[in-house]
Amino acid sequence: MTPGSSRLPDLGPRGEGWFAIQLALFAAIVGLAFARVYWPESAVDELTVIGIIAMVAGLALFLLALFSAGAALSPFPRPNERGALVDRGVYRTVRHPIYGAIVLIALGWSLAESPLALIPTALLALFLDLKARREEAWLRPLVVLEGLADGRSQSSSDRVTSQNSTFGSSSLTFANPFS
């Protein structure tokens, strides 16, 4: 495979299709709150509290990630012209904190509103993992070039490889299905 290539489809020049599918899954999660399928009465209060806590944590993580991303922020997986590997703020410990935040918000909503929403929430989590892999494949050549331009002894590509988990740091390689 050539640098930047992936077995995952591009879904548009910047990966617009990835973002559209993400929005559709999130809309399904929100919409299922109105499906008239509810949690058992005995669990509603506890699940609502847990759901609200998860949503607040997700929102906090989302805001931290927004401020840390700076000019590299884009809803699309292909890095924009100003994009580079972000390794400051929350990105020092979590490679894709916005994706993790989205999953926390979706999980919180599902717990607070409807058990049926857990189905698209699980699909969203899997989908965001795939989107992260597509993004990493596009980011890798830029990071290697950035490392060469800076004259670093350890390439920036090594940082991507060691931090490619969607929800936290890891030493997994790109081939790992849980990256």
Comparing 28-37, 96-105, 150-159, the range with the smallest average pLDDT is 150-159
CB 44 within 8 A of CB 38: yes
Residue 10: inside a domain, yes or no? no
pLDDT in tens, 68-88: 888 788 888 888 776 667 888
Residue 4: inside a domain, yes or no? no
**Tokens standing for residue 40:** 């058992």
Comparing 35-44, 107-116, 118-127, 150-159, the range with the smallest average pLDDT is 150-159
The count of structural domains within the chain is 1
Whole-model pTM: value is 0.77
Residue 81: inside a domain, yes or no? yes
